[in-house]
Amino acid sequence: MMVDQEPINPAEENEKVEGQVSAETDGSHPEETGHEAVQLEAIQKELEEYRSKADEYLDGWQRSRAEFMNYKKRVERDQAQLYQVTAGNIIRQFLEVMDDMERALVNSPADGEGKAWAEGIELIYRKLQKILETYEVTEIKAQGQPFDPNLHEALTSEESDEYESGQVIEVLQKGYLIGDRVLRPARVRVAK
């Protein structure tokens, strides 16, 4: 069975809705605006909680990022040190060869058949020096410098009129640095 419905007049319907909206907003129902204030206060409180959590998460993220950057720098520094130690152990063996070549070149013949041989040894010596330079190996300057136990190893100490007390008189064996680390200290004679 079908019930006859009255036709809806759109103008009347709009007036009903507008009346309800104006009644809600003009304060004619004070209990509803009080409820809205409570809801607004709850929403603001909830918003503050979320902001607090967001700040906490941001702070945690920033700390984690800083810790990771520090870790990354520490790993890079450790790898560089390991590289220097490993390279230093290998290069230290070549330094003895360099010493032998220097001694051979000191007594090299200046003319005759031995001259060509000496020039070949000198060429090899220079190549070896260039290889060491690529690994940042540098000679420790010691002659005439104040004695530094971090860079020099004193084999003897002697009286000297030419040098002040504590100065290096003579280098007996060259010392070398790799980067800023001592690869081999210079063996020296020191003035008393």
Predicted confidence (pLDDT) per residue in 28-43, tens digit:
444 557 788 889 999 9
CATH code assigned to 137-192: 2.30.22.10
The reported pTM is 0.59
Residues 6+ apart with CB under 8 A from 190: 147, 152, 154, 156, 157, 158, 166, 167, 168, 169
Please, which residues bridge with residue 153 across strands?
187
CB atoms within 10 A of CB 89: 10
- What is the domain partition of the chain in residue ranges? 59-135, 137-192
Calculate what percentage of the chain has a pLDDT beyond 90. 48
pLDDT, mean of residues 77-88: 88
AA letter at 83: Y
Predicted confidence (pLDDT) per residue in 125-162, tens digit:
999 999 999 988 999 999 989 999 999 999 999 998 88
Whether 191 and 157 have beta carbons less than 8 Å apart is answered as yes
